[in-house]
Chains A and B, each alone.
Chain A
Amino acid sequence: GQQVMQIPQYQHVQEGEDFTTYCNSSTTLSNIQWYKQRPGGHPVFLIQLVKSGEVKKQKRLTFQFGEAKKNSSLHITATQTTDVGTYFCAGRGSYIPTFGRGTSLIVHP
């Protein structure tokens, strides 16, 4: 079945440093979604990527979808303490999105 691998599992950064998390799928995806979950909270939708090679930006966040539609990345520039949380990708193959295991971002002030 479809598998979505996400790395790294944890990332510690100093406030102001950049952060990147990567997702790789074993199969071609129709789209990929990114979610953020704060400690003690629930997943909150960030963005959906659909097109091959697509790049979308939200302020300091940059999302990319690979040309083969099998990988994606989320890059945060100049992290802030408010960026703390776990970032999940969810890749949709033919039907239901499959979640990656998430990357927990810890920002040290």
Chain B
Amino acid sequence: DTEVTQTPKHLVMGMTNKKSLKCEQHMGHRAMYWYKQKAKKPPELMFVYSYEKLSINESVPSRFSPECPNSSLLNLHLHALQPEDSALYLCASSQSTGEGSAFFGQGTRLTVV
């Protein structure tokens, strides 16, 4: 199984809503990532988890809250988002942060209204 599964595929939320994005992989990868991608731009790193511990937070606003319940799962909790947060949110995993290529999920296309 070389898949990273993300749910939901599409999400529309209001600025007062609370929602969560989910990511799952069963490749035994110990590094998991959240990226944000705006149209016609490269993926922009948000968070890195290594062995279920948050190792990098790229100065992301606190309205985005990551969580890694176990080695296969990664969540991104969303609260009080702004319209400019609308983007494609990509989850990825790799063997570790120091090696291995990243396998990306299909992403969640988020629209904040």
Do residues A100 and B42 form an inter-chain contact, with CB atoms below 8 A?
yes
One digit per residue, 1 when the CB lies within 8 angstroms of any chain B CB and 0 when it does not, for chain A 34-60 equals: 010000011111001000000000000
- Whether B97 is near chain A, meaning CB under 8 Å from some CB there, is yes
Partner of A88, one of B42, B45, B48, B106: B42
The verdict on A97 contacting chain B, using a C-beta distance below 8 Å, is: yes
B101 touches A96 (CB 8 A): no
Give every chain B residue within 8 A of A43 (Cβ-Cβ). 43, 90, 102, 104
Contact A101–B101 (Cβ < 8 Å): no
User: Known: A101-B42, A102-B42. Contact between A42 and B97, CB under 8 A?
Assistant: no
Q: A96 to B48, Cβ gap below 8 A?
A: yes
Contact (Cβ within 8 A) A48 B101: yes
Interface of A is mostly: strand
Residue from A48, A96, A99 whose CB has the most chain B CB atoms within 10 Å: A96
Q: What band does the interface of chain A fall in when counting residues whose beta carbon is under 8 Å from B?
A: 10 to 19
B45 touches A42 (CB 8 A): no
B interface secondary structure, majority: loop
- Taking A42-B88, A42-B107 as given, write out 20 further A-B residue pairs in contact, using a Cβ cutoff of 8 Å, ordered by the A residue number: A33-B102, A35-B104, A41-B106, A42-B90, A42-B104, A42-B105, A43-B43, A45-B103, A45-B104, A48-B101, A88-B42, A95-B98, A96-B48, A96-B56, A97-B102, A99-B43, A100-B42, A101-B41, A102-B41, A104-B40
Q: Are A44 and B42 in contact (CB under 8 A)?
A: no
Whether, in the assembled complex, A90 has its beta carbon less than 8 Å from a beta carbon of chain B, the answer is: yes
Nearest A-chain residue to B109, judged by Cβ: A40
Interface centre among A44, A90, A97 (most CB of B within 10 A): A97
Q: Are B42 and A96 in contact (CB under 8 A)?
A: no
Once A88-B42, A101-B41, A102-B42 are accepted as A-B contacts, the answer to whether A95 and B105 lie under 8 Å apart by CB is: no
